[in-house]
Amino acid sequence: MTRLLISETFGPTIQGEGPSAGRPALFVRLGMCNLDCSWCDTPFTWDWTGKNGVAYDKRHELSHATVDELLDWVDEHDTWTVVISGGEPLIQSARLAPFVEQLLDNGRNVEVETNGTLSPTKHLAEYLDRVRWNVSPKLSGSNVDVTRAENLPVLEQFANIPTAIFKFVITNIGDLFEADELVDTTGMPSHRVWLMPEGRTGDEITERLPWVIDKAITRNYNVSTRIHVHAYGDRRGV
């Protein structure tokens, strides 16, 4: 029986970021991540040592759920978009595949949020064009070494998947130039690129937003804010 390592399930709520921002959604947040961003808003999925200030207890934060249990939870709701987030969901891609398959067969819209370091092709190849891939490559502002944060061949794969979009968290001008370079190097179409100001509070996001909008317009990029943060602050499960 296929079981996934999960952090939490929540919703109905809204998707707060990217091209689906504002749409009703259910969230399945998986545990574990292969990166350790300094501004990560979900360190409870991976930070067991206190790198980001709090040492979370893995035994308390993570649990196992079968695909059938997760599908039963989804079926309790009439919300048709299911967002699979993390952590990094593609760490569990082999176990994730049957869940994605069943969601799609049941008529759900599926979004997978990934950092773009792991290829989806091995276990999820037949679903590539049926899933919305929200790819968020980590830039220098995340304080993750570039050799770990950027996997150019994988980003090129995503650039060739029509249903993949790219969301860059921007903390400073250096992040912006780095995003530009990744767009050019990997062939990301500009109309599938979103810039999002980094911020854990609505005030932080609002402060950076005008500058990010100006830079996006000159590049033909899109802009995303974080609706859930503006509405609820830095809370879990919303």
Residue 144 maps to a domain: yes
Cβ–Cβ < 8 Å for 123, 148 = no
Q: What is the mean pLDDT of residues 19-38?
A: 97
pLDDT mean across residues, the chain: 96
Q: What is the pLDDT of residues 192-202, one digit of tens each?
A: 999 999 998 99
Which is it for the CA torsion 16, 21, 27, 33, positive or negative? negative
Q: Is 231 part of any domain?
A: no
Pairing of strands 222-223, 193-197: parallel
Q: What residues are paired with 111 via a beta bridge?
A: 83, 132
Tens of pLDDT, residue by residue over 81-123, are 999 999 999 999 999 999 999 999 999 999 999 999 999 998 9
* Mean pLDDT of all residues in 25-39: 97
pTM: 0.96
CA-only gyration radius of the chain, Å: 17
- Tokens describing residue 157: 């794969």
83 within some domain: yes
Q: Is 230 exposed, middle or buried (0-12, 13-18, 19+ CB in 10 A)?
A: middle
**For residue 227, is it within any domain?**
no
| 117: nearest Cα among 144, 80, 82 | 144
pLDDT: which is higher, 236 or 61: 61
Report the number of distinct structural domains present in the chain. Answer: 1
Would you say residue 210 lies in a domain? no
* Whole-number percent of the chain with pLDDT over 90: 96
Q: Is residue 221 part of a domain?
A: no
What is the domain-level CATH number for residue 29?
Answer: 3.20.20.70
Distance of alpha carbon 201 from alpha carbon 76, whole angstroms: 32
147: in domain: yes
* 141: in domain: yes
pLDDT for the residue numbered 3: 95
Domain that holds residue 28: 3-168
1 confidence band (pLDDT: 50, 70, 90):
confident
